[in-house]
A and B are shown apart, each in its own frame.
Chain A
């Protein structure tokens, strides 16, 4: 019998659609009946969406860029 634990331990494959048909069917049956697991899947997906936004952040300030430019200027030999 599928339990919450099975949803948790198969969540990566579930999200990536990598489960075999039988496992998928059993998990979805449990999911249909388990509000806790439904909330788990929703918050898991939302967590992935939000953490993916970190890719858009830049920590490199103009000062860091300028220091890097100055340093590389001294290291690069002009043609």
Chain B
């Protein structure tokens, strides 16, 4: 017997091994049974991921929580509209990204016009400018680079990316999606997302170098 979201006690029958069930199978089970234990497994699996993406896009905890709630309510009401043409996770991330953009637009914080396409670390002769080795922070001990303070610095640097670059970087390099999955979630071609990812990484490498250099003074 288990306690569920509604406080009801689970059925006596042996529950399926939900933790090891695929997303798609869970959806199928929930649509056919309306079993809240199944929905709870989806909630457990995706709460952090949905919130992280919503926060990464909106950069606002209040908006991220609203998006989180909206997404699960949408799931309850419209889960039968998920047709399985794509992976459930891709569908869910796409819905989350769209809801987050709605929040940004409602608050007039959307900034799609900021471009990093000309962002390069080299000079007009194609040469790195002599300060990268001098500021090389890569050999610093993990204890410092993985400290709470350092993680805040990293978080701050990622949040400084303009939104179209931030979301690509988040899905690809933080959540670990493949190029094809990011392409499906954001409706971007693979070459376009690779171009954004490249500029985002250059920007972040520079930002972290600046921050860690200042931090060590």
List the interface of chain A (C-beta within 8 A of B).
3-6, 8-9, 11-12, 34-40, 42-48, 50-55, 57-60, 64-65, 67-69, 71-73, 75-79
Contacts and interface: CB of A to CB of B under 8 A. Distances in A.
A51 B156 CA distance: 11
A72 to B, nearest CB: 5
B51 A47 contact: no
Given A5-B126, A47-B208, A60-B47, A36 B173 contact: no
B68 A64 contact: yes
B19 interface: no
B48 A58 contact: yes
Contacts of A43: 132, 136-138, 205, 208-209
Q: Chain B interface: which size bin?
A: 35 or more
A78 B205 CA distance: 50
B201 interface: yes
Interface string B142-157: 0001100011001100
Nearest to A36: B128
B111 interface: no
A71 B47 CA distance: 14
Contacts of B33: 79
Chain A's interface: helix, strand, loop or mixed, by majority? Answer: helix
B76 A72 contact: yes
B194 A12 contact: yes
B130 A71 contact: no
A79 B202 CA distance: 53
Contacts of A44: 201, 205
Contacts of A5: 120, 122, 126-127
B57 interface: no
A32 B94 CA distance: 43
B93 interface: no
Interface core residue of A42, A53, A54, A57 (most chain B CB under 10 Å): A54
Nearest to A35: B133
A68 B174 contact: no
Interface in B154-211: 154-155, 158, 169, 173-176, 194, 197-198, 201-202, 204-205, 208-209
23 contacts: A4-B126, A8-B121, A9-B198, A12-B201, A36-B130, A39-B136, A39-B138, A40-B132, A43-B132, A43-B208, A48-B173, A51-B204, A53-B154, A54-B155, A54-B158, A55-B175, A55-B176, A64-B68, A72-B5, A72-B43, A75-B73, A76-B6, A78-B36
